[in-house]
């Protein structure tokens, strides 16, 4: 799970807030990828401190994802039973927990390259899958599918990523489903907050 999350975040780190009304989500991703790769190449690993990472996260990661949809799908059937307050708390805490792992992904960048295929749209043109690969310096290729949709603001947003055949949404959903058998949603949110606090120490 930890390895999958690291890969997911590494990919997300190269998708920026440049989500616009572009008719082709692949073009949007390619443009954004070039921007963040070029920036990271100018920042030595030793200088990728908390302040730098926070700026990159705010600029390139958070705007790329539909946080509520991602959290809703990750929580699965338990979302329907949650109160408005619980939903809000879960979305925010789930987001913050992911952010804690971003620094490692940015620090690990070491000249990886990216290739993306043309997007595949659904019949309405409101959803798309963009297939891509991260090419490691040793030549290893790691496949990924970005699942995207276009929102009311005509912005393409990510709501899931399938890495080497493993869906992030499905993986998180299984994890939370197992936890919900033993804990309440409030307890799960509290546990996530404790993990965030521990990581901050």
Residues 119-147 as b or e (16 or more Cβ within 10 Å = b): bebeeeeebbbbbbebeeeeeeeeebbbb
Residue 14 pLDDT > 60, yes or no?
no
CA distance 71 to 98: 11
User: How far from 20 is each of 2, 97, 129, 197, CA to CA, in Å?
Assistant: 31, 27, 16, 34
Task: Note the Cα 91 to chain centre separation in Å.
Answer: 13
| 55 vs 106, higher pLDDT | 55
H or E element in which residue 36 lies: helix 25-41
Q: Which CATH number belongs to the domain containing residue 47 in this structure?
A: 3.10.450.710
Whether the model pTM is above 0.75? yes
Residues 43-61 as b or e (16 or more Cβ within 10 Å = b): eeeeebeeebbeebbebbb
Model confidence over 89-126: pLDDT tens digits?
A: 999 999 888 777 666 666 667 777 778 888 999 999 99
Model confidence over 74-85: pLDDT tens digits?
A: 999 999 999 999
Domain enclosing residue 69, as ranges: 2-200
Q: How many domains does the chain have?
A: 1
What's residue 20's pLDDT? 47
Q: With contact defined as beta carbons under 8 Å apart, do 161 and 145 qualify? A: yes
The DSSP secondary-structure symbol of 166 reads E
What's residue 104's pLDDT? 61
What's residue 44's pLDDT? 81
Strands (E) across the chain are located at 113-116, 120-121, 127-135, 141-150, 156-163, 166-167
What's residue 152's pLDDT? 87
Q: With contact defined as beta carbons under 8 Å apart, do 90 and 75 qualify? A: yes
Task: Note the Cα 166 to chain centre separation in Å.
Answer: 14
pLDDT band at 16 (very low <50, low <70, confident <90, very high): very low
Model confidence over 168-195: pLDDT tens digits?
A: 899 999 999 999 999 999 999 999 999 8
Residues with Cβ within 8 Å of 159's Cβ and at least 6 positions away in sequence, in order, are 65, 66, 69, 70, 73, 147, 148, 149, 169
């Amino acid at each position: 799970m930890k390895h999958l999350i690291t890969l997911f975040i590494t990919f997300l780190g190269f998708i920026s807030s440049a989500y616009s009304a572009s008719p082709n989500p692949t073009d949007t991703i390619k443009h954004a990828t070039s921007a963040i790769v070029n920036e990271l190449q100018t920042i030595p690993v030793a200088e990728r401190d908390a302040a730098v990472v926070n700026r990159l996260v705010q600029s390139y990661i958070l705007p790329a994802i539909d946080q509520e949809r991602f959290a809703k799908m990750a929580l699965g059937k338990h979302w329907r039973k949650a109160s408005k307050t619980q939903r809000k708390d879960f979305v925010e805490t789930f987001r913050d927990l992911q952010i804690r792992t971003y620094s490692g992904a940015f620090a690990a960048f070491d000249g990886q390259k990216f290739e993306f295929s043309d997007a595949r749209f659904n019949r309405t043109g409101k959803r798309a899958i963009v297939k891509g690969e991260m090419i490691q310096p040793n030549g290893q290729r790691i496949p990924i599918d970005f699942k995207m949709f276009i929102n009311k603001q005509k912005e393409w947003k990510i709501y899931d990523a399938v890495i080497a055949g493993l869906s992030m949404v499905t993986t998180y959903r299984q994890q939370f489903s197992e936890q919900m058998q033993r804990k309440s949603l409030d307890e799960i949110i509290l546990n996530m907050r404790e993990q965030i606090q521990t990581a901050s120490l």
